[in-house]
Structure 1
Amino acid sequence: MQTLIQTLNRDEILRYLGYQGQDISPALEDTLHRCMGRTLEMISPKYLYRRFKIEHRENGIAVLGTPVFLSGQDIRRHLENCEEIYLLCVTVGLEIEREIRTAMLLSPDEGVILDSCATTAVEALADLAEREIAAQCKTEGKNITWRFSAGYGDLPLETQKEIIAAMDTHRKIGLSLTDSLLMTPSKSVTAIIGVTDTTRDPRPNKCDYCNNRAHCAFRKRGTQC
């Protein structure tokens, strides 16, 4: 599975680290490339997705054939043109997480860089899966929405439990959820992607749904997470 991600986007890593075009010292550049290499060696990329019909109800959206219920106005607005969705689950495994924890103790600077590398890796894997989904939908003349995750806007984070149970992620890709709703491995993503017939790009700015919009460091720099 490691062959799913063969490179990491250096600019994305630096973006997560908060760099905005500053000069990078040779020593930092060396550390950055070393951490990128270690990350690629240690990740175990896995993902799965399934397509479901949905039913729009007065108090939210039912994902048919599952216990998943999507409540809140933001997800209803996001999926207003959709009759089907994909549930997507992605992880890069536990080994890189252990490496990050060890590095944070022994060399905090490297730990921070490794953490950004792992975040970049899981987002790249989610992008890869999303492209697969988009390609499948394109053959049907359909479009997709951008990824919407539990915790965005007013979609409760508790929805994560239902998604993980419906997708059987613990058995299939080793992804679990703690009692406090933290994913294990932590470098993981679950998301909802709508299928739409519209030819208009149905993907507005996802920052509009974010609970951290007013305080987001990425938005202050003119970028997105």
Structure 2
Amino acid sequence: MNAAVFTQSYQEPPFCEREILRYAGCRKQEPHTEALLADCLQEVSGIFSYRICFCELPVSVNGSLCDFALFSLRSEALAKNLSGSDKAIVFAATVGVGIDRLIAKYSRLSPARALMLQAIGAERIEALCDAFCGEMNARYPSGLKPRFSPGYGDLPLSAQTDLFSLLDPPKRIGLSLNGSLLMSPSKSVTAVMGISNPRSSLSNPGSAGAC
């Protein structure tokens, strides 16, 4: 079978300053921290490119083996996550290389600023994934399972190669994978999301908003 892979670009999601400060490890807002954040937000204006490629595949689970027809992954945690699903969405997302360039620049000039930029990048990729998950939740009213990424739990980072072979992110969204299985741009995500089967007793209706 051949999988239809779709590519989408997104408008910039609203920034959540509280989440950015959480990623930066700031437990409370102080004037100098707020000033640094405001300055960094001004500097990153317009540098992000919000892009996703994705496809839908059938999935069957047998023990710890998760079979997606075109490839299979072995993970007890992923198998548990996909319980009650007979289809899944596989996706890759990135916010572009601009933030990486700024982080590299300020890693030498201002470590505090580089840390805040790292936090902004982390919040941006999560905001993009949340926007995509919200769209998919609307498309599949039976609900989605929480997204599950290579390197999480017992799913090895080497699973990245299967997802990249399927989606071809370098061509579609400018996202590459190096020999150490690290993605570039760094503020990127690959993941699998089970689509809940409403006929299955294993489906969890409450999982729809968990993405």
TM-score (norm 1): 0.82
CA shift in 2, pair 1:110/1:42, >3 Å: same
Superposition misfits of 4+ residues, deviation over 6 angstroms: 203-206
Q: 1:15 aligns with which of 14, 18, 22?
A: 22
Letter in 2 for 1:61: C
Letter in 2 for 1:36: L
Correspondence for 2:78:
75
Correspondence for 1:110:
113
Report if aligned partners of 1:170, 1:176 keep a CA contact under 8 Å in 2: yes
CA shift in 2, pair 1:55/1:3, >3 Å: closer
Q: 1:29 aligns with which of 26, 34, 38?
A: 34
Gaps of 5+ in 1: 207-225
C-alpha distance in 2 between matches for 1:113 and 1:94: 16
What percent identity do the matched residue pairs reach? Answer: 29
Correspondence for 2:132:
129
Q: Structure 1 stretch 87-96 or stretch 34-43: which is displaced more?
A: 34-43
Aligned pair count? 199
Note the C-alpha offset of 1:3: 6.2
1:108-134, Cα deviation, whole Å (9 max, x unpaired) = 111110110011001100100111111
CA shift in 2, pair 1:127/1:95, >3 Å: same
Q: 2:92 aligns with which of 82, 89, 94?
A: 89
Q: Does 1:146 align with 2:151?
A: no
Q: Does 1:62 align with 2:56?
A: no
Note the C-alpha offset of 1:203: 7.2
CA shift in 2, pair 1:159/1:4, >3 Å: same
Report if aligned partners of 2:54, 2:92 keep a CA contact under 8 Å in 1: yes
Gaps of 5+ in 2: 1-7
C-alpha distance in 1 between matches for 2:63 and 2:47: 46
Note the C-alpha offset of 1:199: 5.5
Report if aligned partners of 1:60, 1:72 keep a CA contact under 8 Å in 2: yes
What RMSD, in angstroms, separates the aligned Cα atoms of the two structures?
2.1
TM-score (norm 2): 0.87
The DSSP-based 3-state class of the residue aligned with 1:19 is coil
Correspondence for 2:156:
156
C-alpha distance in 2 between matches for 1:3 and 1:156: 29
C-alpha distance in 2 between matches for 1:170 and 1:45: 15
C-alpha distance in 1 between matches for 2:208 and 2:146: 5
